[in-house]
Amino acid sequence: MDDDADFAAFYAACRPRLVTILAALTGNLTEAEDVVQEAFTRALPRWGRLREYDDAEAWVYRVASNLARSRWRRSLRVVTDYGADTHRAAGELSPDRVALVAALRALPLDQREALVLFHIADLSVDDIARRLELPAGTVKARLSRGRRAMAQLLAPLDKVTAHD
């Protein structure tokens, strides 16, 4: 029973953060909730050992982001962005946020992930490097390329057309 209470506390503490990160990564709140839930469900039977890890949240994040990736590859069964849930998520996005989400989705995944982990998850460059098993220099390069790309993508229309 202790285990369960402990797991529930872990879930309550980490889920909002993970859903937010995955939503920013996938551009889709419903899918984010879905993969995060699946990741927690997979964590539950392993909780006895996971709780001993330094960073169980990193495990759940890794599973959730892998699920998000493998989903679009398996893709046929995983159709997102439609139905009632989507209207809830998308209907409330302001035009600025829609543009931001579109710009994020236009980025290569590695840059998107670096930006999201840095600005939304508030991880340091070193933390991101550890989590992704990359040299810190690579993370910095992805961040700076990602920021440059975002600036272009979010620039006023006349500037963007010049790049197209």
Partner 1 sequence: MTDHDVLDGQLKDLAAHYRSAMSAGTVPQRRRAHRHRVLRVAAAATGVTALVAAAALAGVFALPRHEAPVEQTATAVTQPTEPPERAGAVTINAKETAPVRDFRVPRIVFARDKALYMSGLTCESGTCTFALRVSRDAGTTWHDLTIGSAQPGHDNAPGEAAFTDAEHGLLSLHNRLFATSNAGRTWTSVTNRVLTDFNVVGTRVYAREMGAQDTGVAGPTVGPSGAVWVDGTTIHELLPPPGGLAGFAATPDGVYALSNASSANLVAFSTTDGGKTWTPATAPCTTPQGKAGRDGSRVPVWSIKADSNGRGLWFSCDRILYRSAYLGAAWVDVTGPLAARADENTPDILPNSPTVVSYDGSTAWASVFTMPAASKADVDLFRTTDGGATWVHVDRKMRELTALDAQTAFALAEGDLDMTGNANCGTYIDTQPASCTKPVVLYRTSDGGATWSDVAIP
Which of residues 37 and 162 has its CB atom nearest to partner 1 in the complex?
A: 37
Which of residues 108 and 135 has its CB atom nearest to partner 1 in the complex?
A: 108
The alpha carbons of the chain give a radius of gyration, in whole angstroms, of: 17
Least spacing, CB of residue 18 vs partner 1, in Å: 10
Least spacing, CB of residue 143 vs partner 1, in Å: 9
Q: Provide the angle, in degrees to the nearest 10, between the axes of the packed helices 29-43 and 2-26.
A: 150
Rounded Cα–Cα distance for residues 113 and 104 (Å): 9
Which of residues 84 and 157 has its CB atom nearest to partner 1 in the complex?
A: 84
Least spacing, CB of residue 61 vs partner 1, in Å: 8
Least spacing, CB of residue 129 vs partner 1, in Å: 10
- The answer to whether 25 and 112 are in contact (CB under 8 A) is yes
| Cα angle value 101/107/111 (rounded, 5°) | 110
Cβ contacts of 90 within 8 Å, gap of 6 or more? 81, 98
Which of residues 70 and 124 has its CB atom nearest to partner 1 in the complex?
A: 70
